[in-house]
Chains A and B, each alone.
Chain A
Amino acid sequence: MTRIDATFDRLRAEGKKAFVSYVMAGDPDYETARDVVLGLPAAGVDIIELGVPFTDPMADGSTIQLAGQRALEAGMTLERTLNIVRELRAQDTTTPVVLMGYYNPIYNRGVDQFLIDAKEAGVDGLLVVDLPPEEDTELCIPAQKAGLNFIRLATPTTDNKRLPKVLQNTSGFVYYVSITGITGAASASAELVAPEVARIKSQTELPIIVGFGIKTPEAAQDIAAVADGAVVGSAIVERIARGDSVSDVLSYVADLAAGAHRA
């Protein structure tokens, strides 16, 4: 059982929904990003998504693009991203970490070497935006063999005919993207999301976490109520971008987490 599976078991036992947060590794610099990540578990985050910066994030909106640029300009690399995970693991052995990003930095390092390093650092899952099921032999299958979860996006364009293919090699949880669009765009309402979550649930036992466009504790609560949890990314990254202190960022995250946990 991975830390992700154990986390959902715990949440189910407590009757709670999951709160998942996203921050970009190295934004605006290594130390700040690390301090935010180290504070996330205490702020109520159940699963940490850690963005791996990439020059060409074609599925992301400007907020996350700029975060990646700031991180790269400050010298962030895949190796230093793993270092943040190592620092977290030195003090927290239960909160799952999912690396989220694009394939090229991983491919460039070499898939086998990357999987060894990621596992050793304490990574639990991977969410690689530009690896659809059609490319499962690249990383998805090797990652599962190495004991890492491979989390996949399902979207409004993933129709019922395609859904089994998307779910087939997915593990940990399914990340439902509530809109057709890029990160940080407008959010879908809970009324629209609910039937979509039900549609996916009819084909899988995996937890369904919903993201894109959630900015307030209320929205996190509304969305979490109709799914197994909610993800917030761009809204947190915006706080970091405008220069909020680590403690202010974490207190905003705590509000969002409390919202999701009220659901």
Chain B
Amino acid sequence: MAEDFVNSYFTGPDENGRFGDFGGRFVSETLMPLILELEAQYEHAKTDDSFWAEMHHLWTHYVGRPSPLYHAERLTEMLGGAKIYLKRDELNHTGAHKINNVLGQIILARRMGKTRIIAETGAGQHGVATATVCAKFGLKCVVYMGAHDVERQAPNVFRMRLLGAEVIPVTSGRGTLKDAMNDALRDWVTNVADTFYCIGTVAGPHPYPAMVRDFQAIIGQETREQIMQAEGRLPDTIIAAIGGGSNAMGLFYPFLDDKDVAIIGVEAGGKGVNEKMEHCASLTGGRPGVLHGNRTYLLQDDDGQILEGFSISAGLDYPGIGPEHAWLHDIGRAQYVSITDVEALDAFQVCCAQEGIIPALEPSHALAHVLKIAPTLPKDHLLVMNMCGRGDKDIFTVAAALGMEMNNGA
């Protein structure tokens, strides 16, 4: 399909929650009235100045926005090509971009009179952000987390518990992020009256993909202003890592109609995108299907059964991707590539050594692609990468992967 047929990329989703053929509302009847009510409430809030005033107040005073747009000078010098900027969303309260969206959903939940918040989490960053905002507003918080992730992200589990959340390890299915989402949906179906489901990414039934995108778009909006201030023009390339795709959608969205800005999403290639499917690259290694309320690219077998992803990064370990990314992929507005665990680990270490920033494993994937392409680009090429999370949570995983002992400092 040619890009020329699209006048604006800001028009999606349509009234049925579709981005092209992707998205939709594939949920059971019990949930349907709930998501219709949520859609109505969100449509109202979206144009309500007092809603956005409350958001901006909390973004400024609670989260610490705007996050800086930082010129990574040593990295730029080392790579000898494109001028590299990092959007520092890892400096947000709770250490990642996740809280941008959580604030929006919790303010909405309060307006809807909901008193109990449920969430799914993979790496734990969305769970921590949800537990944090619930603590701030005195709301009951229940977080579903795959039993395997509970084990590999122990510090975040403890954080959530300190913040007063109940963390429920999910053992159904294979005990991963997708199973955590299944169990959160089961909870919601059971507790329809008082419960709000705070989804952490740009996936799920309409209106979640659009709503989460709108709350994360603050990343791209700030980036536009900051790069104009620093360079007097828009960037040439913007890059972000993708699991479900919320930090990427947040950065990309305000730039979609700037056709000279190249957009690159980086998926988790795990052990490599091949027939063994030991990766989480839904776009580069999957095909369209229906899961968790939306049609999108999925990792699945010949019979339409969903496969488990594989990645060193728990935050990218999801067999699907937001439907808007699926659409941007199909129409060719954004390019999607994959990066392996090994490449991401290398980038992680480069970032620590060159910039004094310990990145999360998720943006380490985006950075690994920056390391690949920056040397091939001219020095006046402006490249912005979203540093969407900090790596404190990942130091145990990285130590194990690098064969280092943490307790003796070796």
Q: Which residues of A contact B (CB under 8 A)?
A: 53-62, 65, 69, 72, 77-79, 102-109, 129-132, 134-135, 152-159, 162, 166, 177, 180-182, 185
B300 on the A face (CB < 8 A): yes
List the interface of chain B (C-beta within 8 A of A).
Answer: 16, 24-34, 172-173, 178-179, 181-182, 185-186, 189-192, 289-293, 295, 298, 300, 302-306
Interchain CB contact under 8 A, B173 and A55: yes
Q: A65-B172, A162-B33 in contact; A59/B28 too (CB < 8 A)?
A: yes
Check A77 against B29 for contact (C-beta < 8 Å): no
**B192→A180 contact, CB < 8 A:** yes
A72 to B174, CA, bound (A): 13
A156 to B, closest residue via Cβ: B30
Give Cα A171–Cα B58 distance, bound, in whole angstroms: 50
Contact A105 B190 (CB under 8 A): no
A-B pairs, top 6 by smallest CB distance, nearest first, are A108-B304, A105-B304, A181-B190, A155-B30, A59-B28, A130-B26
Contact between B303 and A134 (Cβ–Cβ < 8 Å)?
A: no
Bound-complex Cα distance A98 to B337 (A): 42
Assess the A72–B26 pair: CB atoms within 8 A: no
CA distance A166 to B291 in the complex (A): 22
Taking a contact as CB atoms closer than 8 A, the residue among B25, B173, B179 that contacts A135 in the complex is B25
How many whole Å from A249's CB to the nearest CB in chain B? 24
Could you jot down 30 A-B contacts, CB within 8 Å?
Answer: A54-B305, A55-B173, A55-B305, A56-B182, A56-B292, A59-B189, A77-B303, A103-B290, A104-B290, A104-B291, A104-B305, A104-B306, A107-B289, A107-B304, A108-B289, A108-B300, A108-B302, A130-B26, A132-B26, A132-B28, A134-B16, A134-B25, A152-B29, A154-B29, A157-B33, A158-B29, A158-B32, A162-B32, A181-B30, A182-B189
Chain A residues with CB under 8 Å of B293's CB are: 130
**Chain A residue with Cβ nearest B192:** A180
User: In the complex the two chains form, is B189's CB within 8 Å of A180's CB?
Assistant: yes
Q: Tell which of A58, A69, A135, A166 touches B185, judged by Cβ atoms closer than 8 Å.
A: A58
- Contact assessment for B303 and A108 in the assembled complex, using a CB-CB cutoff below 8 Å: yes
B107 vs chain A, min Cβ distance (A): 24
Contact B178 A180 (CB under 8 A): no
Query: Knowing A55-B173, A58-B182, A182-B190 touch, does A132 contact B289 (C-beta < 8 A)?
Result: no
Docked Cα-Cα span, A177 to B189, in Å, equals: 12
Determine the distance from Cα of A60 to Cα of B33 in the docked complex, in whole angstroms. 19
Residues of B within 8 A of A177 (CB): 29-30
From the candidates A57, A60, A78, A132, name the one contacting B303 in the complex (CB within 8 A). Answer: A78
Contact between chains at B306 and A58 (CB < 8 Å): no
Considering residues B25, B179, B181, B290, which has the most beta carbons from chain A within 10 angstroms of its beta carbon?
A: B290
**Which residues of the partner chain A approach B190 to less than 8 Å between Cβ atoms?**
180-182, 185
Determine how close the nearest CB of chain B comes to the CB of A135; give it in whole angstroms: 6
B306 touches A132 (CB 8 A): no
Closest chain A residue to B17, Cβ basis = A134
In-complex Cβ contact of B28 among A55, A104, A129, A156 (8 A): A129
Q: Which of B24, B32, B303 has the most CB of A within 10 A?
A: B303
Chain B residues contacting A109 (CB-CB under 8 Å) are: 304
Instruction: Report the bound CA distance from A248 to B102 in whole Å.
Output: 51
A134 and B32 contact, CB distance less than 8 A: yes
Using Cβ atoms and an 8 Å threshold, which residues of chain A touch B27? 130, 132
> Bound state CA distance, A258 and B45, in angstroms?
54
Q: Complex: how many Å from CA A129 to CA B293?
A: 11
